[in-house]
Amino acid sequence: MRLVIASNNKHKIAEIKEILGESFDEIVSLREAGIELDTVEDADSFLGNAAKKALEASELLKGDAVLADDSGLCVDALDGAPGVYSARYAGEGHDDALNRKKLLEALDGVPFEKRGAHFACAMVLAENGCIKAQSVGRVHGRILFEERGENGFGYDSLFYYEPFELSFAEIDGEKKNTVSHRRNALMLLLAALKSGE
């Protein structure tokens, strides 16, 4: 079966393709499937946004499995912010650098031990306009006082993963994909699909 990833984010697409590997006959992006779609993400939860994207795309891709995700950073000291607004935390336009700058400003004066945070990733798989499986994966860490590392994207350079003693941007992509929120969500999703067969 062909899997279409309902995303235009090249970083997410690359991570999902690498993590899922041989789980599907073919894995393509929306653009590779010939679909131009930019779903409005206005739900109040990661699962809500992922479901909206998956269902909208699956209506256009009959016969294909469609996978959508929504993910973001939740910071304890900020009551879970930026949360579902992670990509547009500093305003519309998905500017990663400005988002990171705003996060550091919001945490000014907060000591390291109180800078707990987690990345969350919701995954929804749909076929022919119906949800077949869904999951939420998380990975816990802390927010650094300054950016570290050149890999990754989004908030990776500020997210300190304690078991590796490195920021997500200091970890190579292959190693990150063994522990990331996206991997955890995909493993849970695959388990849900297998149990439902």
pLDDT the model gives residue 196: 65
Across 77-103, average pLDDT: 93
Cα-based distances in Å from 53 to 2, 82, 141, 150: 17, 20, 28, 30
For the structural domain made of 2-195, what CATH number should be given?
3.90.950.10
pLDDT for position 197: 52
Residues 78-99, mean pLDDT to the nearest whole number: 92
pLDDT at position 124: 96
What is the strand order of the sheet 166-167 is part of? 26-29, 2-5, 65-75, 116-127, 130-143, 159-161, 166-167
For the residues 55-63, what does the mean pLDDT come to? Answer: 92
Annotation marks residue 95 as catalytic: no
Catalytic residue, chosen from 64, 69, 70, 156, is 70
Please state the rounded mean pLDDT for residues 15-33.
85
